[in-house]
Amino acid sequence: MSTEARKPPAQIALKIRRVLGGKTGWNGIAVQLVFAAILGWIGYEIVSNARANLENQHIAAGFGFLRNNAGFDVNQTLISYTGSDTFLRVFVVGLLNTLVVSVVGIVFATVIGFIVALCRLSPNWLLSRIGEIYVEIIRNLPVLFQILFWYLAVLAALPNPRQSISLFGIAFVSNRGLVIPRPIGESGFEAFLAVLVFGIVASLSLRFYARRALFQRGQVIRIWPYMLGLLFGLPLVTMLVSGLPFTFELPQLKGFNFAGGSRVIPEFVALTLALSTYTAAFIAEIVRAGILSVHKGQMEAGASLGLSRGSTLRLIVVPQAMRVIVPPLTNQYLNLTKNSSLAVAIGYPDLVSVWAGTSLSQTGQAIEIIAMTMGVYLLISLLTSAIMSVYGWRVSRSLGA
């Protein structure tokens, strides 16, 4: 009797079955076929209905309308724009406005959020209660409510430009928005910029070199005086040599309004205020949870190694807290960007307002315009989540090592 091992059965069929049908095998494939048929049927219904409806309404499908003249004005543009520009340019203008309000909002939200988190963690009872009240009130009111509150109630209650509130005589707040000094480039601007960039690059490479020296040879190099010199001293010297890089044009009250300076429209002010205070409440909770998630023993272990309290926080507690904080924090940044679409309620010319609002009502190209709007937001959020998964992979790798 032969004792040779039996040949294993052919695996290829099993593998194909597994790939095509999952764990359930042929049943899974049958389910998929039915599902694909239903999806195909729905898709067919949508396309045929859309075609019929568009024909009835005499709307030509396609993106040709992008090259037509828009014919309406936008009250805040980062790039030059007039009513005779194309719809494509309207799209870009709206997108840039969305991005600028998001970036400004994110900066303010982070700052306020960290401050409120520190307040909530403060040993002072009164201060931590104030932080808690802030978080509870802001989180339990709709963000649209807050946007409208700032825009309709608070900003409208501000005085008119003639009696505007002056901030140290350089900026003015009124119901027409915020007027701030406008920087004007002078002759020394290019040299200043070049020196500044050089200073940043040089200090970064200095820091890189110092860290390598510390980790590889155990040598501590004190670099902060050099960095200070590179970042502030060098630009100062350049300014002395080649003159001021820019001067500020101060706003002046002339007649009923301000002349000079740059004007920030009230819609922008209201939207930024509402979005940053709203998101800050969520960020505060995230930061607080992150810092509380680091075990008390870490602080004690750092102290027993002889590190100072500051170094323990900087080198031990904060990196571990950041690991917990960063993913939800990015999520909040994304939420803020998405919430900036509520600008349409107060007429700030963001993507939804000028593109899915004004342009849609002018052209009637609902499918193309809404698909483009959704596509932009989808792209932003997919990009962010891709970056976050890279970050998560790096964190898990550095923890594993």
Stretch that binds another protein, among 63-71, 145-153, 252-260, 387-395 (CB under 8 A): 145-153
Q: Which is nearer to another protein, 145 or 393 (CB)?
A: 145
Give the whole-angstrom CA distance, residue 242 versus residue 188. 5
Q: Contacting another protein (CB under 8 A), which of 100, 103, 121, 127?
A: 127
Task: Build a one-symbol-per-residue string for 33-72: x at contacts with another protein by CB under 8 A, - elsewhere.
Answer: --xx--x-x--xxx-xxx-xxx-x----------------
**Could you tell me the smallest distance in angstroms from the CB atom of residue 23 to another protein?**
4
Q: Which is nearer to another protein, 238 or 365 (CB)?
A: 365
b/e string for 263-292 if b means 16 or more Cβ within 10 A?
Answer: bbbbbbbbbbbbbbbbbbbbbbbbbbebbe
Q: Contacting another protein (CB under 8 A), which of 17, 28, 103, 175?
A: 28
211 part of the interface to another protein, by CB under 8 A? no
Q: Which is nearer to another protein, 141 or 197 (CB)?
A: 141
Q: Which is nearer to another protein, 51 or 162 (CB)?
A: 51
Q: Which is nearer to another protein, 214 or 374 (CB)?
A: 374
359: which 2 tokens? 């342009």
CA dist list (Å): 58 to 25, 64, 328, 365, 373: 49, 15, 46, 11, 23
Q: Collapse the DSSP code of 171 into the 3-class scheme (helix H, G, I; strand E, B; otherwise coil) and give the result.
A: strand
Give the whole-angstrom CA distance, residue 360 versus residue 342. 16
Count CA atoms within 13 Å of residue 349 on its CB side: 19
In angstroms, how far is the first alpha carbon of the chain from the final one?
Answer: 54
Residue of 150, 112, 134 whose CA lies nearest to 273: 150
**Could you tell me the smallest distance in angstroms from the CB atom of residue 275 to another protein?**
12
The amino acid occupying position 318 is V
**Could you tell me the smallest distance in angstroms from the CB atom of residue 82 to another protein?**
26
Stretch that binds another protein, among 63-71, 123-131, 205-213, 258-266 (CB under 8 A): 123-131
Give the whole-angstrom CA distance, residue 173 versus residue 25. 68
CB atoms within 10 A of CB 247: 12
3 part of the interface to another protein, by CB under 8 A? no
b/e string for 163-178 if b means 16 or more Cβ within 10 A?
Answer: ebeeeeeebbbbebbb
Stretch that binds another protein, among 142-150, 159-167, 242-250, 300-308 (CB under 8 A): 142-150
Stretch that binds another protein, among 14-22, 65-73, 251-259, 300-308 (CB under 8 A): 14-22
Count CA atoms within 13 Å of residue 89 on its CB side: 18
Q: Which is nearer to another protein, 83 or 142 (CB)?
A: 142
CB atoms within 10 A of CB 56: 8
256 part of the interface to another protein, by CB under 8 A? no
Write down the residue that tokens 């349409």 correspond to: 344
Q: Contacting another protein (CB under 8 A), which of 124, 220, 222, 399?
A: 124
Q: Which is nearer to another protein, 128 or 257 (CB)?
A: 128
CA dist list (Å): 192 to 59, 231, 247, 295, 401: 54, 11, 13, 46, 43
Q: Contacting another protein (CB under 8 A), which of 121, 345, 388, 395?
A: 345
Residues 351-370 that bind another protein (CB under 8 A): 352, 356, 360, 366-367, 370
Q: Contacting another protein (CB under 8 A), which of 122, 242, 298, 320?
A: 122
99 part of the interface to another protein, by CB under 8 A? no
Q: Contacting another protein (CB under 8 A), which of 107, 156, 165, 301?
A: 156
177: which 2 tokens? 């928005």
Give the whole-angstrom CA distance, residue 187 versus residue 193. 11
Interaction site with another protein (CB under 8 A):
19-24, 28, 31-32, 35-36, 39, 41, 44-46, 48-50, 52-54, 56, 122-127, 130, 136-137, 139-145, 148-149, 152-153, 156-157, 338-339, 341-342, 344-345, 352, 356, 360, 366-367, 370, 373-374, 377-378, 381-382
